[in-house]
Amino acid sequence: MLIRFLRKAAKSNEAPIWAYVADLLARPRRQRVAVGLGKLNRLVNDGDVVVIPGKLLGNGRLQKRVTVAALAASRSAAEAVVKSGGRLVPISNLVRENPKGTNVKIVI
């Protein structure tokens, strides 16, 4: 359902980023990404909005305030995001908040 929602949002809002995220989520499960907090900390800046088309894992440290939208997140990763001052939201909520997808980074 999420993939269909993203493709529909991409067409109605003329935002190709959501179509790309839908394509990444349509991959087989074993090819989906798993991003650790350490990698996320290296790739983002304070205040960034990030989409992870896979799972956010709790290995590493997050020291920046970011908004993370992920398909899934481990409990330790979710706690670390909130503890660092950021927030963790479902991908569908991010699409509703930012339909055009402006200033959204995809971490693969």
Q: Can you list the domains of the chain with their CATH numbers? A: 2-106 (3.100.10.10)
Residue 43 has a pLDDT of 96
- Indicate the pairing of strand 87-89 with strand 104-106: unpaired
Residue 19 has a pLDDT of 97
Residue 101 has a pLDDT of 95
Rg (CA), the chain: 13
- At residue 19's C-alpha, the angle toward residues 58 and 8, to 5°, is 115
Residue 62: band (very low, low, confident or very high) from pLDDT cuts 50, 70, 90: very high
Half-sphere exposure of 108 (CA within 13 A, CB side): 8
Residue 72 has a pLDDT of 97
Residue 79: band (very low, low, confident or very high) from pLDDT cuts 50, 70, 90: very high
Tally Cβ neighbours within 10 Å of residue 24.
Answer: 20
pLDDT digits (tens, 9 = 90+) for 3-26: 999 999 999 999 999 999 999 999
Residue 62 gets which letter from DSSP? -
